[in-house]
A and B are shown apart, each in its own frame.
Chain A
Amino acid sequence: MYLASVAASEGAGWPEKLPLLPHPAEMIVGVIAFAVLYWMYSTKVVPNMEKLYAQRAAAIEGGMKQAEEAQAQAQAALDSYNAQLKEARGEAARIREEARTQGTAIVEEMRGQAQAEAARITDSAHRQIEAERATAATSLRGEVGRLSTDLASKIVGESLHDEVRQKGIVERFLAELESGAITPEKVDR
């Protein structure tokens, strides 16, 4: 029946023909249209688009690589910073410790020096006092000797100086006094 209707419509012209029957000129136009568009797409559009895709993928990949690098750098910087910080902390502790020991040593030394100085001052003061006492004692002895000789001279009425000096009476007396052979009534020393 299909073939029959095709045969029947052969003379009737296109408007009355089956809608399922392709029109030859339209088929040729269709082939040309497809061929032209396919040629344009396969030579220009698709390669360009694929290039863009590749570029975009490369850009994204490159960006990720860059980000990774930056992260690694940041990590390295952080590590070195941490290490430096740790080192600095150790250093600071060490310096503080050293300062403390040094301070103690200085304080010790200063104390020792001060003590030595104090001892020295005390010592020299003692010595001076001793010397002065000795000087005073000597001069006093002389004075006492002279005074007593004077007194004795006045009592006796003549100068005894030469004799006293010659015989060392005063000396002997004072020595006896010091050794406690005679006790003075009043010693004003």
Chain B
Amino acid sequence: MTGSIAYLGYGLAAIGPGIGIGLIFAAYINGVARQPEARGMLQTIAFTGMALTEALAILGLVFAFVFKG
């Protein structure tokens, strides 16, 4: 088996942001279910949080490409 261990590293690095994004949207869905009229505000907050969390996964992707060879 050949390949780069960097991709394996990226897979590991994506676990944390994956859980984080799941938590953010779970909270968002909860919030909207409880207060449907607050949807617009919650959406903004949820996407800001998602952007911040996903930044970590995307940094992982960049470093996977950088360190692969």
Contacts and interface: CB of A to CB of B under 8 A. Distances in A.
A19 B65 contact: yes
Contacts of B67: 1
Contacts, number: 11
B66 A1 contact: yes
Interface in A1-38: 1-2, 5, 18-20
Contacts of A18: 65-66
Nearest to B63: A2
A42 to B, nearest CB: 25
Contacts of A2: 66
Interface of chain B, main secondary structure? helix
Interface residues of B, number: 5
Contacts of A1: 66-67
Nearest to A3: B66
B62 A5 contact: no
Nearest to B69: A5
Contacts of B62: 20
B51 to A, nearest CB: 20
B42 to A, nearest CB: 26
